[in-house]
Structure 1
């Protein structure tokens, strides 16, 4: 950019973002409002731009190549010339954005993508106004000192003018402080002021043994749905209404703050015990359950609340807020519209979960997984008809990690897609080897679980086709097990994928039948070949006649729809006999074999077991 053409009377804004589309959108918005806008795709371009012309404001993306936004911000704040330039962070809604860290390294605000026109302008205008006010104060101070030196002989007049300037400066400073410490939308204290209040409460608790306090962290449930469906203006109106309703649940001495987005913090001071905080949380949940009558809409909104008891042993106020946040996520996991009180063990669990996630990411890179195989037995012939592929994690220090422990983490982080694809490839490769062995029974099938997340990948069918082609297996011998969560989506896209799998002669099995919704209308709509009866129902067959009735009903449903029935968790001869009497088609469980390593499969097949 030719900086000679920059208008010196316009405010200069530097946008640092490695995504050209983001640069173009932001530049268009701000240029139309009369700002000089410069763009930088990386840290080097940003450094060159600031060295050439110092901007009045920097918009900085968090997710940057090589050097992330936090480090870039720290560098700007460490350089004397750019230390006072306000930095507004840019973050996508699904990015992992550490708000506490963002403010700690020097950020003054943040904007989420996709951009909302009015929000961008308001936040930019506020920060430019703050900067202009600070520069005005500096200018006033310089002018004040100059006049005092030049007009010492006019002492009385100088003192009078000095007094007036001091009053003006104090008023301006008060205005700046008010803007800096309060949320521009709701007028509530912001995160900075809330942390200050927390710090004061913590210091008081250290000095006064009888002083007790608690922190509540509140996050609105499904607020994004309101924003996405009704628009950000309605979302802003709702946030203001939520703030007002929260204040009705609190005492004047309590502190209510908007921490950002749809998150609110509450500080309850000088309370007797944790039960007071619980009563406040219950009162808030009750109040929030009532409809919000906005200018054009009536909406409903609930929240999840985390409660942290103000322990004087905390080193920093941010840790209190962190623990309340942790408890809030536990409340959200328990079904939303609930509260949860923080327990110190939860912090350790959070650390362990983070370590597990980090280890799991490395495990995907290093392919630390194994596939175990459990035989599926035909109850007509009594012989092995196939195997289910079950993934195991060979952790370098912990040994074998149970799928129960790492699969939920893999699902949440999206790593399940890579793991699932690897298991499918490994299982098909192994099936190809077994089918070329002379002792292998014909036909031998392989059954692989397919995560619901894979159905959102546009290249799922291409991946499956490639795996089948590379391993030269007959697709009729491949069974893909899906859960009811896939079927409950009931979208045309999923129906098309399942139909295309069926056209390839791949078998489709509903896993864990009976543990979810089990809607018969959905079963009719999808091209399923088999229903797998969950082991919990098989286990209860022998307990009483009432529960015994469920398994026959499930087998009857499968037969009536032209599907096979597969029973899981068969452990006793009595269960096997009952299933045969009920005309169940297939079974698997410890009675036949536990899941075994691939090298033991041929040994098992060599013995030609029959039940």
Structure 2
């Protein structure tokens, strides 16, 4: 059986011996260190000084008090001879340096000298002030003297005083003599013990050196090797070798465990780097990896003539896939799109293209011409963008269904458009947005004008904030007529903006800004309340307005952001408008993607009596299917169908079919954009219920609409 003598036991044994030796050495050093001599001498001097000073003080106080009593009568009768005799008697005492009798003003009456040379002079020494002002026995000292003073009185009358100064020189001399003798004796004792203290220290030093050498070889050296290996691991270098050992103690266990840990960390580091720099769904580089690559390329190309192109690509209508087919299908679309893009880039970029997914349906491509190759980066980017648009415009088979999407691409160039990565990426995003605005499934190069468009949009958003409170926003009302009897039955509330600098702003501009910025969530309820207030005024002030309804458009963001039914109910209660006189209009895009929630919301509205209309009907890709799943009271045929109903048989047939289909489902139909009498006549002939348009009435201010009612 192998006995394992562990490192802990070794350390315990060595540490115990070292502690015992250290305690003995420290105890000896504490008894014999030089500071002990100085402390003993200092304490001795202090004790002797205190004893001597107390002796002098006790003697002085008694002597001065007795002499002061003796001086009462001589001082009262101003007998200078008797006073002088008493003062000279004080001067003859041991250690007395001076004896002075003074009056109440501190002037010298007698100092013991035969001629009294200081007679009548004011005492000016440092002790004089306290001596004169003291009302009883008073003692003052400095390094050389002890001054003892006593006032002289008859009853309550003060005649003067006596002060005697005692020299402390003899006390100092005694202290120095005794201190020197004591120091010599202590030095002799110290020298006797110095030899064996030195021997003890030498032995202790040797033991410590032996212990340190042992620890260095058995503990410190192996741990230092592990520390060096840990430093390499921290810097990302996992290639360093860790020396093997056959030691059967804790150090051996530590070395082996560290080796296993190094291998485990190396594996985890590879996994973490792959996760940190790779998109988990598509396997492409992610935002972090792409940004590092872009920064590196820009650094390498700074000062050179090489150019770069950045292509920001966004899948068109991708949300529609998630909303209609499901998120699993959306993930499959992203995987197929990534594979197609990778194939196109490999074929068109000559191996110099880097593809990354930034998240969602957003991809970014870094394009660089081969080193030493000829060509123009703009032409190369154009060819690549065209190829991507063509390839990704083809249908994708997902879950047995063909999906048609497309891609919008924004292209920006370095160094023409931007000098750094942040600005380059911002410009690419702006260009991609312009591709979306241009109709999607296309590409656009960044230009300075795009920055101006973005700036104008930001300025419009800033101006739109608070526009309602400033009175810049107002409502216009377009009449809605019933075709059967050409009777006015309601009006659609339309938002208008009269900018103080730019005049009238097109609703298609500022409503889109309000929707994307979220301002519509504030403006929408204000529009709803104002329209209900106006409709209630029509009913109250005009006989012809008692049955009129007002229709208000609701944006998709309003449906997503809050409980619209509660909001509508609060406005109706506040304004007093009957629910059946309020029509809510929403577009198909507001319904797509969340039909279950929207259907429940619309059902709650309709249960209160509010009418719900589907606006711009016929323009959506699946508009007809909504009528089976979404509860509505009517549809509004988009003006694009009405415009050509007189000359395009297809539009006429489609409009007729919408009317017939709506009636078969028990819902009403409103035709928008009626601008000619012939359109009105044919819609009436085909059974359309209601119509609005310029031929029937332009949008007008609330006052003008009330004039129409009058």
**What residue number does 1:539 align with?**
643
In the superposition, the TM-score normalised over structure 1's length comes to 0.59
Is 2:298 aligned against 1:194? no
Equivalent residues of 2:341, 2:388 under 8 A apart: no
Is 2:309 aligned against 1:214? yes
- SS of residue in 1 equivalent to 2:304: helix
Give the 5 Å matches for 1:101-500: 184-185=277-278, 190-198=290-298, 201=301, 203-205=303-305, 213-218=308-313, 248-249=346-347, 254=352, 256=354, 263-269=363-369, 272-273=375-376, 274-282=378-386, 305-310=409-414, 312=416, 314=418, 316=420, 318-331=422-435, 339-363=443-467, 366=470, 368-489=472-593, 491-500=595-604
1:238 Cα deviation from its structure 2 partner? 11
Q: Which whole-Å deviations, capped at 9, do the CAs of 1:560-603 have from their partners, x for residues lacking one?
A: 22222212111222222222222322211111221111111111
Equivalents in 1 of 2:555, 2:607: separation in Å? 20
1:322 Cα deviation from its structure 2 partner? 2.8
**What residue number does 2:213 align with?**
none
Equivalents in 1 of 2:456, 2:657: separation in Å? 43
Equivalents in 1 of 2:459, 2:514: separation in Å? 13
**What residue number does 2:160 align with?**
none
Equivalent residues of 2:674, 2:695 under 8 A apart: yes
1:220 Cα deviation from its structure 2 partner? 7.3
Equivalents in 2 of 1:544, 1:251: separation in Å? 47
Equivalent residues of 1:219, 1:303 under 8 A apart: yes
Aligned residue among 694, 698, 707 for 1:594: 698
Equivalent residues of 2:587, 2:615 under 8 A apart: yes
**What residue number does 1:140 align with?**
none
Equivalents in 1 of 2:445, 2:357: separation in Å? 19
Equivalents in 1 of 2:355, 2:617: separation in Å? 47
**Is the alpha carbon distance of 1:336 and 1:403 closer, same or farther for their aligned partners in structure 2, counting shifts above 3 Å?**
closer
1:213 Cα deviation from its structure 2 partner? 4.6
Equivalent residues of 1:532, 1:568 under 8 A apart: yes
**Is the alpha carbon distance of 1:424 and 1:241 closer, same or farther for their aligned partners in structure 2, counting shifts above 3 Å?**
same
- SS of residue in 2 equivalent to 1:549: helix
1:512 Cα deviation from its structure 2 partner? 1.5
**Is the alpha carbon distance of 1:271 and 1:596 closer, same or farther for their aligned partners in structure 2, counting shifts above 3 Å?**
farther
1:192 Cα deviation from its structure 2 partner? 4.6
Is 2:684 aligned against 1:580? yes
Equivalent residues of 1:191, 1:260 under 8 A apart: no
Equivalent residues of 1:428, 1:446 under 8 A apart: yes
Q: Which whole-Å deviations, capped at 9, do the CAs of 1:21-43 have from their partners, x for residues lacking one?
A: xxxxxxxxxxxxxxxxxxxxxxx
Ranges in structure 1 where 5+ consecutive residues have no aligned partner: 1-128, 135-178, 206-210, 293-299, 607-611
**Is the alpha carbon distance of 1:373 and 1:312 closer, same or farther for their aligned partners in structure 2, counting shifts above 3 Å?**
closer
Q: Which whole-Å deviations, capped at 9, do the CAs of 1:411-449 have from their partners, x for residues lacking one?
A: 222222222211111100111111110443331111111
**What residue number does 1:604 align with?**
708
Q: Which whole-Å deviations, capped at 9, do the CAs of 1:348-380 have from their partners, x for residues lacking one?
A: 222222222333334367564211111111223
1:499 Cα deviation from its structure 2 partner? 1.5
Equivalents in 1 of 2:406, 2:681: separation in Å? 51
Q: Which whole-Å deviations, capped at 9, do the CAs of 1:43-88 have from their partners, x for residues lacking one?
A: xxxxxxxxxxxxxxxxxxxxxxxxxxxxxxxxxxxxxxxxxxxxxx
**What residue number does 2:90 align with?**
none
**Is the alpha carbon distance of 1:336 and 1:505 closer, same or farther for their aligned partners in structure 2, counting shifts above 3 Å?**
same
Please identify the structure whose Cα radius of gyration is greater: 2
Q: Report the count of equivalent residues.
A: 424
1:242 Cα deviation from its structure 2 partner? 9.6
- SS of residue in 2 equivalent to 1:275: helix
**What residue number does 2:118 align with?**
none
1:491 Cα deviation from its structure 2 partner? 2.8
Equivalent residues of 1:191, 1:259 under 8 A apart: no
Higher alpha-carbon deviation: 346-355 or 371-380 = 346-355
- SS of residue in 1 equivalent to 2:644: helix
**Is the alpha carbon distance of 1:253 and 1:574 closer, same or farther for their aligned partners in structure 2, counting shifts above 3 Å?**
closer
In the superposition, the TM-score normalised over structure 2's length comes to 0.51
- SS of residue in 2 equivalent to 1:542: coil
Is 2:640 aligned against 1:527? no
Equivalents in 2 of 1:239, 1:534: separation in Å? 34
Equivalents in 1 of 2:607, 2:291: separation in Å? 56
- SS of residue in 1 equivalent to 2:383: helix
Higher alpha-carbon deviation: 427-436 or 304-313 = 304-313
**What residue number does 2:400 align with?**
none
- SS of residue in 1 equivalent to 2:550: strand
**Is the alpha carbon distance of 1:191 and 1:369 closer, same or farther for their aligned partners in structure 2, counting shifts above 3 Å?**
same
Equivalent residues of 1:249, 1:280 under 8 A apart: no
1:248 Cα deviation from its structure 2 partner? 3.6
Equivalent residues of 1:212, 1:272 under 8 A apart: no
**Is the alpha carbon distance of 1:502 and 1:265 closer, same or farther for their aligned partners in structure 2, counting shifts above 3 Å?**
same
1:500 Cα deviation from its structure 2 partner? 1.5
Equivalents in 2 of 1:443, 1:427: separation in Å? 15
